[in-house]
Homo-oligomer: A and B are copies of this chain.
Amino acid sequence: MAKKQKPTDSELEILQILWEGGASTVKAVNEKLNEKKETGYTTTLKMLQIMFEKNLVERNENERSHVYKAAINKDDIQKLLLDKLLETAFSGSAANLVLHALGNSNPSKEELTKIKELLNQIEKERK
């Protein structure tokens, strides 16, 4: 069962690794983590254990090296965090957030096309 509480920044880093690389051992997660920042093995282990208690991850204990995987959906968390940001920093104005995001980024042609399609679709439904 997915959790409805916002993961911390560190937890999110780990979730990102699990979403991207699928089920992984502590060792694997730690190595990925260390590509970005120095992190002790037991630190990573402890994080995963805590996340396990919070039901943020599941684990398979069949092997000696437990295998962890994300217990929550990436889309759900994206929505959760986006909604929160929208509310706390953008006073609920999604359009404003979108304008900011587009302004500060450099979307590819394909991405632009996708966004336009979505806009057209929204307008069509509106009629």
Task: For the complex, give the distance between the alpha carbons of A78 and B97 in Å.
Answer: 8
The 0/1 profile, CB within 8 Å of B marked 1, for residues 98-127 of chain A is 111111111111011011101100110010
Stretch at the interface among A22-30, A40-48, A59-67, A87-95: A87-95
What chain B residues lie within 8 Å of A33 (beta carbons)?
Answer: none
Report how many residues on chain A are interfacial, defined by Cβ distance under 8 Å. 44
CA distance A87 to B32 in the complex (A): 16
B contact residues around A109 at 8 Å (CB): 126
Residue among A20, A82, A104 facing the most chain B CB atoms (10 A cut-off): A82
Q: List the B side residues contacting A88 at CB < 8 Å.
A: 9, 12-13, 16
A93: chain B residues at CB < 8 Å are: 111
